[in-house]
Amino acid sequence: MGVDLSPIIEKKEITLDYLSRKTVALDAYNILYQFLASIRQPDGTALMDFRGNVTSHLSGLFYRTAKLMEVGIRPAYVFDGEPPKFKLREIELRRAKKDEAMLLLKKAQDQENEVLMRSYAQATVRLTQEMVRESKELLGAMGVPCVDAPSEGEGEAAFLAKAGKAYASGSQDYDSMLFGSPRLVRNLSITGKRKLPRRDEYIIVRPEVVELESALGSLGITREQLIMIGILTGTDFNDGVKGVGAKTALKLVKQYGNDFDALIKGVEQKYEYRFEEYIYDVYNFFLNYPGKETDLPSGEIDEAKVVEMLVERHDFTKERIENTLKALAEARKNEKQTRMSDWFGQ
């Protein structure tokens, strides 16, 4: 799980049209995990082709990306690279939790409890290298740029936004704000009507944007202090202090100012807690992410390749895929006409 700053961060609801003609650098792993967890049968079974290959991620990736492109958004997907050494412990903990969820899933299946089956199935989601490879292949056929990050995808997305290569980074988590992204867009992959877990109720999820400088000004803190809040509450690299949520963390960092060393020592004493020995590395990783600057040009759509991948290889419905491609082609045509009008001042 990434950093959760929702209790203290003000968010502004937007429409997808607000992002039209803007490039958004998306955390690919974050989004693919969402699709794998959410696009499932009522009993928790993932979508599969006739040969038993999981296709939930491809379905979500194709239709959601197409939706963004149809309204003029220019998505670019950033994939994780080599994780920092201090993340290895967290990776092992996640694997252990997935193994435990598998055992609970088996019990729920034996009891034929569909509610628990879906819940535990979502907790067992694994993103394989083959899934990543095919996701990149599909995005390439759609003309969507893909970037392999030197390390964390959210860090690279933030780096590209800071460098002006993208308008914003896109993720459900707030990590990219700690990495310094000037803007964070949330809910791009889940916009629309959504059913609440284990309840017969639905809500409308809308896109949100968070402006880093505005958020820091509203809270009266620096980016360094925002990183400290993330560390206190827990990140992908450290556990966080039990009983310390975002609001309490905000009070603590204001008490200690920008003195990270004093904060660590003071919190350890007050809460009888011991931070990970690499906690200073985590702080510096957020503050000085080793990014790689690259352009994010959109390519042409290879309709034949998309059909081969989704229809012939993975048994998607041909008519629906072709209708989506037709809508994409029309959107691209309209975008080019708009660019020409802008160029000639019409």
Do 21 and 159 lie in one domain? The reply is yes
Do 178 and 253 lie in one domain? The reply is no
State pLDDT tens for residues 175-207. 999 999 999 999 988 777 666 666 667 778 899
Instruction: Yes or no: say if 8 and 219 are a contact pair by the CB < 8 Å rule.
Output: yes
Q: What is the CA radius of gyration of the chain?
A: 21
Residue 77 belongs to a domain = yes
Measured between alpha carbons, how far is 140 from 163 in angstroms, rounded to an integer? 23
The whole-chain average pLDDT of the chain stands at 91
- Check whether 112 has a pLDDT greater than 90: no
- Check whether 173 has a pLDDT greater than 70: yes
Do 173 and 277 lie in one domain? The reply is no
The answer for residues whose C-beta is within 8 angstroms of residue 127's C-beta and 6 or more apart is: 29, 32, 33, 36, 57
Measured between alpha carbons, how far is 145 from 75 in angstroms, rounded to an integer? 8
State pLDDT tens for residues 264-284. 999 999 999 999 999 999 999
Residue 339 belongs to a domain = no
- Check whether 125 has a pLDDT greater than 60: yes
Torsion of CA 81, 79, 245, 231, to 10 degrees: 30
Instruction: Yes or no: say if 285 and 237 are a contact pair by the CB < 8 Å rule.
Output: yes
Last residue of a domain, one of 215, 233, 264: 215
Do 65 and 113 lie in one domain? The reply is yes
Residue 139 belongs to a domain = yes
- Start-to-end CA span in the chain (Å): 48
Residue 304 belongs to a domain = no
Torsion of CA 88, 92, 97, 99, to 10 degrees: 140
Residue 328 belongs to a domain = no
Measured between alpha carbons, how far is 265 from 224 in angstroms, rounded to an integer? 17
- Check whether 97 has a pLDDT greater than 90: no
Do 198 and 252 lie in one domain? The reply is no
Global pTM reads 0.90
Last residue of a domain, one of 165, 180, 215: 215
Cβ atoms within 10 Å of 158's Cβ, excluding its own:
32
Do 211 and 234 lie in one domain? The reply is no
Cα–Cα distances in angstroms (integers) from residue 147 to residues 25, 77, 85, 136, 200, in the given order: 9, 6, 21, 9, 39
Do 194 and 233 lie in one domain? The reply is no
Do 226 and 192 lie in one domain? The reply is no
* CATH number of the domain residue 255 falls in: 1.10.150.20
Query: What pLDDT score was predicted for residue 200?
Result: 67
State pLDDT tens for residues 199-231. 667 778 899 999 999 999 999 999 999 999 999
Query: What are 334's two structure tokens?
Result: 């309209």
Do 154 and 251 lie in one domain? The reply is no
Using a pLDDT cut of 90, give the percent of the chain over it.
Answer: 73
Cα–Cα distances in angstroms (integers) from residue 118 to residues 37, 39, 114, 125, 230, in the given order: 9, 11, 6, 11, 30
Task: Tell me which residue range forms the domain holding 87.
Answer: 12-215
Query: What pLDDT score was predicted for residue 319?
Result: 98
Upper half-sphere CA count for residue 267 (Cβ side, 13 Å)? 29
Last residue of a domain, one of 189, 215, 241: 215
- Check whether 114 has a pLDDT greater than 50: yes
Do 183 and 49 lie in one domain? The reply is yes
Residue 200 belongs to a domain = yes
Do 53 and 171 lie in one domain? The reply is yes
* CATH number of the domain residue 46 falls in: 3.40.50.1010
Residue 56 belongs to a domain = yes
Site of tokens 């990970």: 276
Do 186 and 70 lie in one domain? The reply is yes
Residue 325 belongs to a domain = no
The structural domain count of the chain equals 2
